[in-house]
Structure 1
Amino acid sequence: MDLLSWMAVGFIVIGFVVLAFITRNMENEVHQSSATQSIIWKIVGTAVWGIVSIFLIVYWLFPRFL
């Protein structure tokens, strides 16, 4: 495996771990009134992480299909 594939896999795995950690910590925060901003930032961060992950996978696989 080349460096780009290791970066893509590492980014995706680390993102899943961080997302699970944040979700577990947010379960305690949900009943507070200030949790709305945290939930919005979690959604934005997850969307950005997903877009970057898709871009990395496509960028890694694109030369292999040519």
Structure 2
Amino acid sequence: MNSLLGITIGFIVIGFVVLISLKGSMESRLAKANVEVDEGLTKTNPVVCWIVSTVIWGLVSIILVVWSFHNYFG
């Protein structure tokens, strides 16, 4: 197996595990932030960081998959 393909699969699988494990805590923080309006900004800041990191993980995953297909089929 190509090392780039292994890195790609590992990155995607580890990312899914991390995202799923943190999803519950982010949902509870968002629910608490909706109830407590006074401290909403401080409670939603980790949620925004989680969303940004998820988008970055997705973009890197797409780039790795395309790069792996390019090396494998090209």
**What TM-score bracket applies, with the shorter chain setting the length?**
0.7 to 0.9
3-state DSSP of counterpart to 2:58: helix
Note the C-alpha offset of 1:23: 0.6
Gaps of 5+ in 2: 34-39
Output the CA distance in 2 between the equivalents of 1:35 and 1:16: 24
TM-score, normalisation: structure 1 = 0.86
Which structure: larger Rg? Answer: 2
How many residues align? The count is: 66
Residue 53 of structure 1 aligns with which residue?
61
Per-residue CA distance 1:4-28 (angstroms, 9 max, x = gap) = 1110000000000100111112233
- Structure 2 length normalisation: TM-score? 0.78
Q: CA–CA distance in 2 between the matches of 1:9 and 1:54?
A: 11
Q: Judging by fraction of residues, say which structure has more helix.
A: 2
Specify the code of the residue in structure 1 equivalent to 2:9.
V
Partner residue of 2:48?
Answer: 40
Would the alpha carbon gap of residues 63 and 2 (structure 1) be closer, same or farther in structure 2, given more than 3 Å must change? closer
Identity over aligned pairs, percent? 39
